[in-house]
């Protein structure tokens, strides 16, 4: 699954994905995050301690529009959508790094002028949306003001950095879709478009309905926990 999603990331970056900039929006903090720590723990009862609630809330300032745009319903739906996709990508917030180590050397694109300064096998999947490839570490690091190209291990050693990489993709990248996952939720396109932007080239349009259903099931569980309707257009 990770290998397939990374291909979408390549397409997004090479063909001109969304601008790698921090959003300008009202400030967000743990105090007004629409998911409480108790709800977060209910969503992820078997999570790896690395994926801490405090790490997530500390990362919110990087993208203050996330789960902080629109009505209370929209804010909760976006938080649920992000966490549902994260749950699917990490086995319920269990895996911090990609499990198939044989893939690790593949994520170095030597055609980039900066190469792979941390080593050819250093840019494997890490974090809640499994950031991979040297160019994605470079782009995410540049956007976040963190040197992830030279020190990608920050994304598996610092919970806040890991969460920020996931929020970077969610808020700025459209992948194989036509919009960022953030815009999909705040503009009313529906949860299905978040799936398309993350792994649509391999899952949507009937290509892998079981994977899509897994994401939808998680989203419906999480919206129930947050006491909000999941809305329409759940599938891609």
What 3-state class would DSSP assign to 222?
A: helix
CATH of domain 37-96+158-226: 1.10.530.10
Smallest CA-to-CA distance from 180 within 21, 60, 18 is with: 18
Tokens of 128: 């809640």
> What's the pLDDT score for residue 6?
39
Per-residue pLDDT 10s for the chain (236 aa) are: 443 343 334 333 333 333 333 333 444 455 689 999 999 999 999 999 999 999 999 999 999 999 999 999 999 999 999 999 999 999 999 999 999 999 999 999 999 999 999 999 999 999 999 999 999 999 999 999 999 999 999 999 999 999 999 999 999 999 899 999 999 999 999 999 999 999 999 999 999 999 999 999 999 999 999 999 999 999 99
CB 107 within 8 A of CB 7: no
- Residue 103 DSSP label: G
Out of 37, 78, 89, 98, the active site residue is 89
pLDDT given at position 27: 46
In total, the chain counts a number of residues equal to 236
pLDDT computed for residue 32 by the predictor: 81
CA distances from 187 to 171, 172, 194 (A): 13, 15, 12
So what's the pLDDT on residue 31?
Answer: 65
User: DSSP letter string over 90-121?
Assistant: HTTTT-SB-S-GGGGGGG--TTSTT--TT-TT
Catalytic: 203?
no
* Residue-level pLDDT at 56: 96
């Amino acid at each position: 699954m990770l290998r397939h999603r990374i291909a979408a990331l390549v397409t997004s970056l090479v063909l001109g994905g969304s601008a790698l900039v921090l959003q300008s929006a009202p400030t967000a903090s743990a105090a007004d995050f629409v998911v409480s720590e108790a709800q977060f723990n209910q969503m992820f009862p078997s999570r790896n301690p690395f994926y801490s609630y405090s790490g997530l809330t500390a990362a919110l300032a990087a993208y203050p529009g996330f789960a902080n745009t629109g009505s209370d319903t929209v804010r909760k739906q976006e938080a649920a959508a992000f966490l549902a996709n994260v749950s699917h990508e990490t086995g319920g917030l269990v895996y911090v790094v990609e499990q198939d180590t044989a893939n690790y050397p593949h994520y170095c694109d030597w055609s980039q002028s900066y190469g792979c300064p941390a080593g050819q096998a250093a840019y494997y999947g890490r974090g809640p949306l499994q950031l991979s490839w040297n160019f994605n570490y470079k782009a995410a690091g540049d956007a976040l003001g963190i040197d992830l190209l030279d020190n990608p291990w920050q994304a598996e050693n610092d919970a806040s950095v890991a969460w920020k990489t996931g929020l970077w993709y969610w808020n700025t990248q459209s992948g194989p879709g036509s919009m960022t996952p953030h815009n999909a939720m705040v503009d009313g396109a529906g949860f299905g478009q978040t799936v398309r932007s993350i792994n649509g080239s391999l899952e949507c349009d009937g290509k892998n309905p079981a994977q899509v259903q897994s994401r939808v099931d998680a989203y419906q569980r999480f919206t129930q926990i947050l006491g909000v309707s999941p809305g329409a257009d759940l599938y891609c």
